[in-house]
Amino acid sequence: MKPQRSFLILLFTFFTTVALAQTTSADLRRSKEAIQREIDMLQKNLNETSSSKRLTLGQIRAVNAKIRLMQNKIAVINSEVKNLDNQIHENANEVTTLKGRLGELKKEYAGMVRFAQRNQNAYDKMMFIFSSDSFNQAYKRIKYFQQFGQYRKKQADYIQGTKKKIEYKIVVLDKNLKEKSTLLTEQEHEKVKLGKNKTEQAEMLSQIAKQEQRFKKDIASRKWQQTEIDRAIRSAIQKEIEIARKKAEEDERVAAQKAAAEGRPIPVASAKEKTTSSYLTTSPEAAKLSAGFENNRGRLPWPVGQYSIVERFGNHTEGQANYTNDGINILTEQGAAVKAVFEGDVLFVKELYGTYIVALRHGDYFTIYQNLKTVSVAKGTKVDTRQVLGTIASKEDGPILHFEIMRGQTKLNPEAWIAK
């Protein structure tokens, strides 16, 4: 039974390897398709915004984002090629193993055929059985002839099965090689397109150098506007902190008065210094919201359906000008719905510079949605996860949502919180 067991193990290994390879290939293909959707959206926006001869910072950011995505796509293709190389290597090894096994099976089968030819005479078989020393031995010899015939048939089946498996593996190998050839061609095309985009990027940087003062002025203007918006956001959050602090102190005072009136020991406030977080999560509801938000780190839904990050969190340099983005800028589709990433309360809705800002509170966490054309919520109302807050506005850079996450007054990188 050893040949049968070895054959089954070989088949199991083969199908497991194929299944794992297919899963990896499918994941890579989905990743590549998602990247391409982002590239297409960026290109569509560039086509719409580049009709004006005036180069904008948004166009530069979009080209930078497109180049980054194209590099990511080439990296995914490299992974696909590497995955195929592994499959080709494994399949080639399995073909060699199967051919070796086929040779052993044929050799064993040939030996059985020779034995059968030597004992094919019915008289010889009968003599072999009747020459037994006992009835038990005769019975065993009869069973031997029966089992030998069955085993010989199984060996023939194994040989045919192995031949078919080798033929199938050769077909798979051929398919792998064709897929690799297609991927390498795709990779070359992507490298050519990347080169063209880098040339476009270099031309833009050259224009920036020639129009340095204009871009410095644009960046300064945006920084000033964003500073005013940040001031409004921080002021609203500070008011929430002050309201929460006063309420906590009032609750402690009322608890002390009640204890004194009932002759009980007056509750002693914790010696531990109160923090912004502790004030904002005093109520059970606020504490629950805060814990829920924190537990969903890395799993929060995106605030728009179609998205591509055109500017990341942190410090940036354009020519000689430097600035900081306290959130992320997300390119989306024209008129896209902007949705809450988590349940909470509307802290404020404010109109500044022709568009709306919506801020939500989630315990001691806050999310800010900037550059809305319309809003469908009001201050003080409760919202659910993925509830529509309004629609995106489109300026000269296209339909871009500025999205921030804060804990108290501390700015956090949204990319660490939203789902990958």
Q: Which of 226, 155, 212 is nearest to 411 (CA)?
A: 226
Provide the pLDDT for residue 28. Answer: 82
pTM above 0.85, yes or no: no
Looking at the predicted structure, is the pLDDT value of residue 273 above 90? no
Distance (Å, whole) CA 194 – CA 204: 15
Triad 140, 143, 144: Cα angle to 5° = 85
Q: Are 230 and 99 in contact (CB under 8 A)?
A: no
The per-residue pLDDT for range 222-259, each reduced to its tens digit, is 778 888 888 888 888 888 888 888 887 777 777 777 77
- The CA distance from 340 to 361, in Å, is 11
Start-end of CATH 2.70.70.10 domains in the chain = 217-416
Q: Is 314 left (phi over 0), alpha (psi -120 to 50) or beta?
A: left
Tell me what pLDDT residue 320 has: 63
CATH of 217-416, one of 3.90.180.10, 2.60.120.330, 3.90.550.10, 2.70.70.10: 2.70.70.10
**pLDDT for residue 394 is more than 90:** no
Average pLDDT, the chain: 79
Give the burial string for 149-185 (b: 16+ CB within 10 Å, else e). Answer: eeeeeebeebbeebeebbeebeebbeebeebbeebee
DSSP run (H or E) holding 324: strand 321-325
pLDDT tens for residues 114-166?
Answer: 655 555 554 455 555 556 667 677 667 666 655 655 655 666 666 777 777 77
User: What per-residue confidence (pLDDT) applies to 20?
Assistant: 43
Helix (H, G, I), strand (E, B) or coil at 271: coil
Main-chain phi, psi angles of 188, to 5 degrees: -65, -40
DSSP string, 174-227: HHHHHHHHHHHHHHHHHHHHHHHHHHHHHHHHHHHHHTHHHHHHHHHHHHHHHH
Provide the pLDDT for residue 23: 47
Confidence grade of residue 319 (pLDDT, cut at 50, 70, 90): low
